[in-house]
C-alpha cells in the first residue's frame, strides 16, 4: 500500500523489497507445512487425495494466493497480466481471519442469517430494477444523455436507494421527482434491514455459545455447565 506513494517508494524501496521477500518466505513455508501436516485431520487422512482436498479449501486457497503473486513474474513475462495478479496480494490481509475469533463469530452470524439476508438482497435488486425502469420511462425524453438506457438509470437507482446521492444524475420532471422521493424513503428502510438482521444474529450466536460452553472439572474430568459455577 505504501509503495504507491512515490516519495516513500523512492526512499524505502529496498526496505519494502526485503520485507516482501521475508513475508513471502514465511507464507511459503507455512503453506508447505500446512499441506504436509493436513493428514492429521481425519478429513484429509489420505496422503495424496487428502492433501489435494485440503489445497482447495477456502483457507488453503487464501494461503496460496497470499504468496503466489511473488513467484508468477518468473514464469509470466506479460506485464499486463502481472498488474492483475498483484491484486492477489490483498489476500494476505484475509489470512488474519484465521487467527481472529471475531471473524469466526461474524461468519457464524452470516451462516445463521443467510436466508434473511438473501431475501433482503433480492428485494433490493427488485426495487432497483423497478425504480430504474420507471425513472428511465419518465426521464429519458427530458434527459436522453443522462437516462440513456435502463442500465444507465440503474446507477441513479443504486445511489438513490443507498441515500448517497452523488448529484451526477437526478430527475427534473414532476413524475421523476415523485418516483425519486418514494425510492429514497424505501431505500432508507430497506438498507436498514441488514443491520437489524445481523444484530439479531450476533445476539443468537452469542447466546448459543454461552449455552454450549462447557468447563472441565479439574478433579473428576467431567464437563460442568457454566451456569452451575455461580450457584
Separation of alpha carbons 112 and 55, rounded Å: 26
Q: What is the pLDDT of residues 34-47, one digit of tens each?
A: 999 999 988 888 88
Q: What is the pLDDT of residue 114?
A: 92
Q: Does 9 lie in the same domain as 69? A: yes
Q: Does 121 lie in the same domain as 95? A: no
Question: Is 222 part of a structural domain of the chain?
Answer: no
Final residue before a domain boundary, out of 44, 73, 99: 99
Q: What is the pLDDT of residue 197?
A: 93
Final residue before a domain boundary, out of 45, 67, 99: 99
Domains in the chain: how many in total? 2
Confidence of residue 227 (pLDDT cuts 50, 70, 90): very low
In this prediction the pTM is 0.61
Nearest to 112 by CA among 196, 191, 204, 193: 204
* Residue 54 near residue 31 (C-beta atoms within 8 A): no
Final residue before a domain boundary, out of 99, 128, 158: 99
Separation of alpha carbons 131 and 154, rounded Å: 8
Question: Is 149 part of a structural domain of the chain?
Answer: yes
Q: What is the pLDDT of residue 228?
A: 45
Q: What is the pLDDT of residues 106-162, one digit of tens each?
A: 888 999 999 999 999 999 999 999 999 999 999 999 998 989 899 999 999 999 888
Q: Is a pLDDT exceeding 90 seen at residue 79?
A: no
Question: Is 228 part of a structural domain of the chain?
Answer: no
Q: Is a pLDDT exceeding 90 seen at residue 100?
A: no
Question: Is 223 part of a structural domain of the chain?
Answer: no
Q: Which residue has the cell 489476500?
A: 91
Cβ neighbors of 216 (< 8 A, separation 6 or more) are: 222, 223, 224
Q: 111-122: string of b/e by CB count within 10 Å (b at 16+)?
A: ebbeebbeebee
CATH number for position 121: 1.10.287.70
Question: Is 90 part of a structural domain of the chain?
Answer: yes
Q: Does 72 lie in the same domain as 119? A: no
- Where in the sequence is the domain holding 49, given as residue range(s)? 2-99
Amino acid at each position: 500500500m505504501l509503495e504507491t506513494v512515490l516519495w516513500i517508494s523512492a526512499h524505502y524501496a529496498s526496505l519494502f523489497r526485503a520485507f516482501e521477500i521475508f513475508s513471502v518466505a514465511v507464507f511459503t513455508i507455512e503453506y508447505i507445512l500446512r499441506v504436509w501436516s493436513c493428514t492429521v485431520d481425519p478429513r484429509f487422512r489420505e496422503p495424496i487425495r487428502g492433501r489435494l482436498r485440503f489445497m482447495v479449501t477456502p483457507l488453503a486457497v487464501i494461503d496460496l494466493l497470499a504468496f503466489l503473486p511473488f513467484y508468477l513474474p518468473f514464469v509470466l513475462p506479460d506485464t499486463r497480466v502481472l498488474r492483475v495478479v498483484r491484486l492477489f496480494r490483498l489476500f494476505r490481509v484475509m489470512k488474519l481471519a484465521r487467527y481472529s475469533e471475531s471473524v469466526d463469530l461474524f461468519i457464524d452470524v452470516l451462516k445463521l442469517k443467510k436466508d434473511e439476508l438473501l431475501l433482503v438482497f433480492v428485494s433490493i435488486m427488485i426495487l432497483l430494477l423497478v425504480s430504474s425502469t420507471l425513472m428511465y420511462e419518465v426521464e429519458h425524453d427530458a434527459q436522453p444523455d443522462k437516462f440513456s438506457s435502463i442500465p444507465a438509470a440503474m446507477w441513479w437507482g443504486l445511489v438513490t436507494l443507498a441515500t448517497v446521492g452523488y448529484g451526477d444524475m437526478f430527475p427534473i420532471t414532476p413524475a421523476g421527482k415523485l418516483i425519486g422521493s418514494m425510492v429514497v424513503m424505501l431505500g432508507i428502510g430497506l438498507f436498514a434491514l441488514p443491520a437489524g438482521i445481523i444484530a439479531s444474529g450476533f445476539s443468537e450466536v452469542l447466546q448459543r455459545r454461552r449455552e454450549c460452553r462447557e468447563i472441565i472439572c479439574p478433579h473428576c474430568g467431567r464437563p460442568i455447565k457454566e451456569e452451575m459455577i455461580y450457584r
